[in-house]
Amino acid sequence: MHVRPNAKGFFLKRGQIGCLLLHGGTGTPSVMRSMGEFLAEKGISALGKRLKGFGTSPEDWLKTTHLDWILSAEEGISKLEHHCKDVFIAGLSMGGALTLYLAAKHQNRFTGIIPICAPAGPSFLSGFRKRFQPLAKEDEAQPNVGANDIKDQSVKPGGYSHFYPSLFLEWADLVEKASDEISAIKCPVLIIQAKNDHVVNPRTADWIYEHVSSDQKELLWLESSYHMATIDVDKEIVFREVVDFIFKVAE
């Protein structure tokens, strides 16, 4: 199995506070790399996990399900736990939904979580499935428009240029699981959402905020970025706020 050079995972080992970084539904760890480097500069260990089937070939991708992606993320958690006392998760887009699911499933393993432009809730699911279920019957490759939802046109997101509707329905299954269990989340949460997101309705962030059971929860709105917030124009705001949140919670 050949992993593309810009798609490889990374582990920047620093202090006893660590953060697992999860890419989105067609992406690679490259969209979390700059964030990881920023965290590492501040002394926070950062592990960018490549989910199974990503960054290799569409054929590999088609052999996977959302259960494989969950297992990949859980492998990252275990690896980070061997090095760190406090473990956080930050996920972009579908990686944000995976973040919510993991926090609900493993309630005592995380010091805090950061879902970024994360899909969640019945409103998102109904529209998402309605769009992709008819396409999944033929399951022909579709242009990956969502990955290019970036205001800064000089940025290239990497990842797959096309997606398969059947795999998007796998992501929908994951979103459904996360949404069903979201009230089990009790650790501190920083929800980050772009106001001009063209992939996930920004109101989804309000739904997440209302349904997590965390006593400590914050909602950060990004004024300029589009969906791919970790590599877009507000990325430095994202990085600074994440670092501030992590140090505040881990005290």
Q: Which CATH number applies to 5-250?
A: 3.40.50.1820
Residues 116-145 have pLDDT tens digits of 999 999 999 999 999 999 998 889 988 887
In the block, which residue shows the tokens 């050079």?
5
Q: Give me the long-range contacts of 69-72 (CB less than 8 A, separation at least 24).
A: 69/98, 69/170, 69/174, 70/98, 70/101, 70/102, 70/174
Radius of gyration of the chain (CA): 16
Active-site choice (93, 225, 232, 234):
93
Respond yes or no: is residue 197 known to be catalytic: yes
Respond yes or no: is residue 227 known to be catalytic: yes
pTM of the predicted model as reported, rounded to 2 decimal places: 0.96
Query: Using CA atoms, how far apart are residues 156 and 27, in angstroms rounded to an integer?
Result: 11
Domain ranges for the chain: 5-250
Asked if 92 and 229 count as a contact pair (C-beta separation under 8 A), the reply is yes
Q: Which of 74, 78, 113 lies closest to 96, judged by CA?
A: 113
Helix (H, G, I), strand (E, B) or coil at 91: strand
Active-site choice (197, 225, 232, 234):
197
Element (H, E) at 237: helix 235-250
Query: Using CA atoms, how far apart are residues 70 and 95, in angstroms rounded to an integer?
Result: 10
pLDDT of residue 1: 63
Respond yes or no: is residue 93 known to be catalytic: yes
Residues 72-105 have pLDDT tens digits of 999 999 999 999 999 999 999 999 999 999 999 9
Query: Using CA atoms, how far apart are residues 92 and 231, in angstroms rounded to an integer?
Result: 10
Residues 144-192 have pLDDT tens digits of 877 789 999 899 887 888 888 999 999 999 999 999 999 999 999 999 9
Active-site choice (149, 227, 232, 234):
227
